[in-house]
Chain A
Amino acid sequence: MAYSNKVLDHYNNPRNVGALDKHDPQVGTGMVGAPECGDVMKLQVKVNPATGIIEDAKFKTFGCGSAIASSSLATEMLKGKTVDEALEIKNTVIVSELALPPVKIHCSVLAEDAIKAAIADYKKKNSVGNHAAAQVAQ
């Protein structure tokens, strides 16, 4: 299989590899996929609580080159976005940016899922978005 230059670039020089402290309340962690399926992505965001802006993002991925590139690109896209803007990131943007072939589209879907999971974890920790529901319940 031939890889696009962008996939090769992210594979050879992955951006933002690493881990953030998952116990930090400012950090949201998302892990999606399964080893049996051949890919697992862990994506983390660190949010400034005052501004709601994602100040840092890290990833680690077990998967093919396209999965690594998709998550690497996702961390780049996340930085500087607000939490709500991050939720707007669609897998199709990753597909076109990396020129993924049809058989690798699931890699971009996984990256989108990882973003959503990380943000959901952050929101859960900080009860963001749960206030409204809580008030109604009262």
Chain B
Amino acid sequence: MAIKLPIYMDYHATTPLDPRVLDAMMPYLTTKFGNAASRNHSFGWEAEEAVETARKQIADLIGANAKEIIFTSGATESNNLALKGVAEMYAERGNHIITAATEHKAILDTCKRLEKHGCRVTYLPVTASGLIDLDMLRESITDKTILVSIMYANNEIGVIQPVAEIGKICKQKGVLFHCDGVQAVGKVPVNVIQDNIDLLSLSGHKIYGPKGVGALYVRRRNPRVQVTALMDGGGHERGMRSGTLNVPGIAGLGEACALCRKEMAEESARLGALRDKLKDRLAASLDEVYINGTMESRLPNNLNISFAFVEGESLLMGINDIAVSSGSACTSATLEPSYVLKALGAGDDIAHSSIRFGLGRFTTEEEVDYVADKVIDVVRKLRELSPLYEMFKEGVDLSKVQWAAH
């Protein structure tokens, strides 16, 4: 079968809508256009029914109760609502929040904002594996700590934090635990009861659902968690999130969750095998490749790898029929290399040389083979061009060279 180019291998950034999800949404984009808050007529009732079905589908995927699901515009909003909402609601109890250096910007920048408003935030470092140190977490919790926010799986390196242990520690210490589950939900089993998660953010477009819709799980029992709303309005979603519900989006998110729940076991095994094939082929054909973050605890669809002595953007340019992303500064708006890779302590040069492969539901083995061939070819070509590779081959210790920094 001929391969269709370009190949999409950036599933951590976003995913295409599954056609089955679109089918589930279509009625609510057309004939069933009612407002879910309209209580007086059938248009409203059928919209409300769709919303409640979706709420149940989402809850089932994460081991929650349907009443604990709050719909939002996406995970950025969910994260903002969780952090700001808890900080305000529990201000009398304390002002200290603990998070990690490798969190998504929607967490880190929200924390920075909260710091300006009197919160104190501890940013836990990670080890070279990309995981936080549980003892350090334990020691960081004080009597002022109200919230720990640690992501389930990292969006760049795919490493899965020891969430169940974190949940247990938070429970023992009587501190709320928020988890950014965007990359993990639908990919690996997430259970808010077993993991003692009090608040969980998730997003539609990362799981083959539509963009512009997400959810926040807010625990209702043991303990009952409350968050102060970000926006004032009609008091939708138990007063925590006002605004007319995005019914088609919500129906899509629900269907996306139902599909993930049904197909997760088979799909994660398939993706894990494809990912390992890609990794093994690259490692077998090229020297000096480094996997960023541990392979022991990782999403099955993620590979973040650095090709030493090759700059990431130039590599992307050579594989321009493959959609992936790089931690190189040249590909970022800030001209800074990936802060996640820097947090691993790998050095900026490794960050500049990194590529993130994200496999997904529509990735085929033929595509993986094509990508492996192409990457190997371009890396070899660029190393022919690389003065660093030449020096490495001559036995020069690059860490001891006095670079004329500019």
Residues of chain A whose beta carbon lies under 8 Å from any beta carbon of chain B: 1, 3, 11, 14, 17, 19, 31-42, 60-65, 67-68, 103, 106, 109-110, 113, 117
B348 at the interface (CB under 8 A from A): yes
A65 touches B317 (CB 8 A): yes
Contact among B313, B318, B388, B390 for A35, CB-based, below 8 A: B388
Q: Offer 6 A-B interface pairs, CB within 8 angstroms, sorted by A.
A: A35-B349, A35-B352, A36-B403, A62-B386, A65-B317, A68-B385
Q: A33 to B403, alpha carbons, bound, how many Å? A: 6
Which of B226-234, B258-266, B329-337 sits within the interface?
A: B329-337
A19 touches B390 (CB 8 A): yes
A64 touches B385 (CB 8 A): no
Q: A67 to B385, alpha carbons, bound, how many Å? A: 11
Chain B nearest CB: distance from A2 CB in Å?
11
Taking CB as reference atom, which chain B residue is nearest A35?
A: B349
Taking CB as reference atom, which chain B residue is nearest A43?
A: B387
Q: Told that A40-B403, A64-B311, A64-B314 touch, could you supply 9 new A-B pairs with CB distance under 8 A? A: A14-B385, A35-B403, A38-B311, A60-B390, A62-B387, A63-B311, A67-B314, A103-B335, A106-B406
Q: A19 to B352, alpha carbons, bound, how many Å? A: 24
- Which residues of B lie under 8 Å from residue A33 when comparing CB positions? 403-406
A40 touches B387 (CB 8 A): yes
B384 at the interface (CB under 8 A from A): yes
- Which residues of A lie under 8 Å from residue B352 when comparing CB positions? 35-36, 38
- Which residues of A lie under 8 Å from residue B89 when comparing CB positions? none
Interface residues of B in 335-358 (CB under 8 A from A): 335, 337, 347-349, 352
- Do A60 and B386 form a contact, CB below 8 Å, given A36-B349, A38-B328? yes
Residues of chain B whose beta carbon lies under 8 Å from any beta carbon of chain A: 309-311, 313-314, 317-318, 328-331, 335, 337, 347-349, 352, 384-390, 398, 403-406
Which has the most chain B C-beta neighbours within 10 Å: A3, A19, A31, A113?
A: A31
- Which residues of A lie under 8 Å from residue B331 when comparing CB positions? 1
A31 touches B404 (CB 8 A): yes
Q: A76 to B362, alpha carbons, bound, how many Å? A: 45
- Which residues of B lie under 8 Å from residue A40 when comparing CB positions? 387-388, 403
- Which residues of A lie under 8 Å from residue B314 when comparing CB positions? 11, 63-65, 67-68
B330 touches A117 (CB 8 A): no
> DSSP majority for the B interface?
helix
> DSSP majority for the A interface?
mixed
B387 touches A38 (CB 8 A): no
- Which residues of A lie under 8 Å from residue B335 when comparing CB positions? 103
Q: A41 to B309, alpha carbons, bound, how many Å? A: 12
A113 touches B406 (CB 8 A): yes
- Do A17 and B384 form a contact, CB below 8 Å, given A36-B348, A38-B337, A64-B330? yes
Taking CB as reference atom, which chain B residue is nearest A72?
A: B385
Q: A110 to B337, alpha carbons, bound, how many Å? A: 19
B404 touches A62 (CB 8 A): no
Q: A98 to B244, alpha carbons, bound, how many Å? A: 51
- Which residues of A lie under 8 Å from residue B317 when comparing CB positions? 3, 11, 64-65
Q: A105 to B318, alpha carbons, bound, how many Å? A: 21
A34 touches B311 (CB 8 A): no
- Which residues of B lie under 8 Å from residue A1 when comparing CB positions? 331
Chain A nearest CB: distance from B92 CB in Å?
46
- Do A34 and B390 form a contact, CB below 8 Å, given A63-B311, A64-B311? no
Taking CB as reference atom, which chain A residue is nearest B388?
A: A62
- Which residues of A lie under 8 Å from residue B311 when comparing CB positions? 38-39, 62-64, 67
A62 touches B310 (CB 8 A): yes
Contact among B328, B387, B405, B406 for A42, CB-based, below 8 A: B387
- Which residues of A lie under 8 Å from residue B329 when comparing CB positions? 38
Which has the most chain B C-beta neighbours within 10 Å: A3, A11, A109?
A: A11
- Which residues of B lie under 8 Å from residue A62 when comparing CB positions? 309-311, 385-389
- Which residues of A lie under 8 Å from residue B388 when comparing CB positions? 35, 40, 62
A41 touches B387 (CB 8 A): yes
- Which residues of B lie under 8 Å from residue A38 when comparing CB positions? 311, 313, 328-330, 337, 348, 352
A60 touches B406 (CB 8 A): no
- Which residues of B lie under 8 Å from residue A31 when comparing CB positions? 387, 404
Q: A64 to B330, alpha carbons, bound, how many Å? A: 7
Contact among A3, A36, A37, A60 for B387, CB-based, below 8 A: A60
A32 touches B313 (CB 8 A): no
- Which residues of B lie under 8 Å from residue A36 when comparing CB positions? 347-349, 352, 403, 405
Q: A117 to B404, alpha carbons, bound, how many Å? A: 10
Q: A32 to B347, alpha carbons, bound, how many Å? A: 19
B386 touches A61 (CB 8 A): yes
A32 touches B384 (CB 8 A): no
Chain B nearest CB: distance from A118 CB in Å?
12
Q: A103 to B390, alpha carbons, bound, how many Å? A: 28
Q: A27 to B335, alpha carbons, bound, how many Å? A: 35
Chain A nearest CB: distance from B42 CB in Å?
51
